[in-house]
Amino acid sequence: MSQTAYEVVLSRTAEKEFKGLHPRVRGQIRQRLLDLEVTPRPHDSKRLKGSGRDHRIDSGEYRVLYEVSDPEKRVLVWRTAHRRDAYRNL
């Protein structure tokens, strides 16, 4: 039985934040993003309040905020930031 993979897409903001991270942190987050291709809602993900499609996953002190679209089989990552900054200007 083969699982249908989701496409993981980074928004312009998330991509810019991702490129600015320390290489070690970037590697950790890259692995979490690859995992989202297979499991868009891992057991340690949390749904953001006020939204049915927005989730977050933790990678150490960093947060990955994203939206899942099941019909399109797509995960749109819109933030990759330190936990103190991740929820600003939402």
Tens digit of each residue's pLDDT (9 = 90 or more) over 31-56: 999 999 999 999 999 999 887 789 99
| The pLDDT of residue 69 is above 60 | yes
The residue whose two tokens read 């249908």 is 4
**Domain map (residue ranges) of the chain:** 7-82
State CA 5 to chain mean position distance.
Answer: 15
Q: Report d(CA 34, CA 47) in Å as an integer.
A: 19
pTM of the shown model: 0.89
Q: Report d(CA 55, CA 50) in Å as an integer.
A: 11
Average pLDDT, the chain: 92
**With contact defined as beta carbons under 8 Å apart, do 35 and 42 qualify?**
yes
- For the domain with range 7-82, which CATH number is right: 3.40.50.720, 3.30.300.30, 3.30.2310.20, 3.40.50.1700? 3.30.2310.20
Q: What is the pLDDT of residue 52?
A: 77
